[in-house]
Amino acid sequence: MATSAELREAIAALRDPLLDHTLGELDAVAVAEVTDDGSAQVTLRLPVPGYPAEGALREAAAAAARDLGLEQVAVDIGIMTEEQRQAAVAKAKSKRPSGGGGDEGDIPFNSVESTTKVIAVASGKGGVGKSSITTNLACALAEEGYRVGIMDADIWGYSIPRMMGAGGKPVAFDDLVLPLLAHGVKVISIGFFVDSERPVIWRGPMLHRALQQFLSDVHWGEVDFLLCDLPPGTGDIAISLAQMLPNADMLVVTTPQPAAQRVALRAGQTTAQTGMKVSGVIENMATFIAPDTGREYAIFGEGGGELLAEELSTELLGSIPIDPRLREGADDGRPLVLGEPDAPASKAVRAIAQHLSKQGTSLVGKSLPLQMG
């Protein structure tokens, strides 16, 4: 039977997904004991009540105990003292790259030390599945073992919280604003801060400030990929994001029909004026595969994705077939790649995620001016 020392060592080695340190480094293991009857008693010290990673840490602690052969596991939660919390926050902040300040604030992704690949997911028009592609790509990358975040930059038409099944309010303490966790992905959205039944009626300056706070005030910690879900078109938000993240890559989502492709072309061409680089095109709703015969139908036409990639001098990363379960998963908060991993659409998304992971991180630390002609 495992000893208390072995249990404590296993629990202490677990990593807090938000503060990016082990529980041992954060002094977050209050109790880790094996009782006489062979059960495990664990108490974790968390920074504040309602800590967003509480559920994930409970599950991880229970799994670590069971891996030692301890079938009966009780995981309780305690709260750090003020001194313990300040020490934990200091450790978390020590890993944050400095973005250099300036008019756009201290955005860590612009630091020369940052290894995060920032990807803006754009479309020329609504209804092409941009947000569902974003959520499924994020979950596919997380399944590959990458640390992933989603910033919902669609302030007016935010949908990421529902699609990711993320609810509640972000927690703020000691100058840290922590994103929520869903399916192992860090998520921030204006939807966590406003009444979901009321529209967000904001103009340019307020939109700009919201994006700036999402990037500079939220403690993203160590993420390999940050996916930014943009609103459709080429308005204020796309321009502001390009100012704040001049070295981000852009993925353009379109459908095969020529009308959608022409509108998406305008969205992609804005990168020439903002400094972003189009790193690829994703063609969504490419074909419909009849479930009874397996025959493919090009309901929305053909060739739009390839033509768009050619005109933007980039590559077509993949074509994703129509699958009603993709919509159902978005409504239920469980992306298709998790709920139906063997679906053709899931396989297509995972192939795109694997391609993105091989591209490496973007060049960072290079500030490019915004030029609007």
3-state secondary structure of 300: coil
Check pLDDT > 90 for residue 21. Answer: yes
Kindly indicate the confidence band of residue 127, based on its pLDDT and cuts at 50, 70 and 90.
confident
The values of phi and psi at residue 89, to 5°, are -65, -40
Check pLDDT > 60 for residue 362. Answer: no
| DSSP single-letter state for residue 265 | H
Among 240, 225, 271, 237, residue whose Cα is nearest residue 119 = 225
> Contact 366/267 with Cβ under 8 angstroms?
no
Kindly indicate the confidence band of residue 202, based on its pLDDT and cuts at 50, 70 and 90.
low
Which CB contacts under 8 angstroms, 24+ apart, belong to 292-300?
296/321, 298/256, 300/255, 300/256, 300/257, 300/260
**Above pLDDT 90, what percent of the chain?**
50
Which among 36, 60, 94 is the end of a domain? 94
Q: What is the pLDDT of residues 26-74, one digit of tens each?
A: 999 999 999 988 899 999 999 999 899 999 999 999 999 999 999 899 9
pTM of the model: 0.86
Looking at residue 364, its pLDDT comes to: 38
The values of phi and psi at residue 232, to 5°, are -65, 150
What is the token pair recorded at 231? 């609103």
Look at residue 373 and tell me if it is in a domain. Answer: no
Same domain, 83 and 127: no
Q: What is the pLDDT of residues 207-234, one digit of tens each?
A: 767 788 889 889 999 999 999 998 876 6
Same domain, 229 and 202: yes
d(C-alpha 345, C-alpha 367), whole Å: 37
Look at residue 2 and tell me if it is in a domain. Answer: no
Same domain, 112 and 89: no
What is the token pair recorded at 73? 């596991």
Question: Which one is predicted more confidently, 271 or 132?
Answer: 132
Kindly indicate the confidence band of residue 9, based on its pLDDT and cuts at 50, 70 and 90.
very high
Same domain, 145 and 243: yes
Question: Which one is predicted more confidently, 289 or 178?
Answer: 178
Q: What is the pLDDT of residues 159-189, one digit of tens each?
A: 999 999 998 888 888 888 899 999 999 999 9
> Contact 181/17 with Cβ under 8 angstroms?
yes
Look at residue 26 and tell me if it is in a domain. Answer: yes
For the chain, how many helices (H) and strands (E)? 13, 14
Question: Which one is predicted more confidently, 275 or 73?
Answer: 73
* 155 contact partners, CB below 8 Å, separation of at least 6: 190, 200, 202, 207, 210, 211, 231, 237
Looking at residue 234, its pLDDT comes to: 63
Among 143, 140, 161, residue whose Cα is nearest residue 152 = 161
Same domain, 220 and 265: yes
Q: What is the CATH number of the domain that holds 15?
A: 3.30.300.130
d(C-alpha 262, C-alpha 266), whole Å: 7
Check pLDDT > 80 for residue 156. Answer: no
Which CB contacts under 8 angstroms, 24+ apart, belong to 341-345?
344/289, 345/320, 345/321
Look at residue 273 and tell me if it is in a domain. Answer: yes
Which of 110-124, 189-203, 233-247: highest mean pLDDT? 110-124
10 Å Cβ neighbour count for 289? 15
What average pLDDT does the chain have? Answer: 85
> Contact 312/249 with Cβ under 8 angstroms?
no
What is the torsion angle, in degrees rounded to the nearest 10, for the CA atoms of residue 157, residue 160, residue 163 and residue 166? -130
Looking at residue 260, its pLDDT comes to: 61
pLDDT, mean of residues 263-290: 76
**Can you list the alpha helix ranges (DSSP code H) found in the chain?**
4-12, 54-67, 82-94, 130-143, 160-164, 204-216, 236-244, 258-269, 271-274, 304-311, 324-332, 336-339, 344-358
pLDDT, mean of residues 233-262: 77
What is the token pair recorded at 241? 């994001």
Which residues span the domain enclosing 276?
A: 108-358
Domain count, the chain: 2
pLDDT, mean of residues 191-203: 65
Check pLDDT > 90 for residue 371. Answer: no
Check pLDDT > 60 for residue 102. Answer: no
> Contact 230/208 with Cβ under 8 angstroms?
no
Looking at residue 303, its pLDDT comes to: 80
Same domain, 76 and 173: no
Question: Which one is predicted more confidently, 198 or 216?
Answer: 216
3-state secondary structure of 122: strand
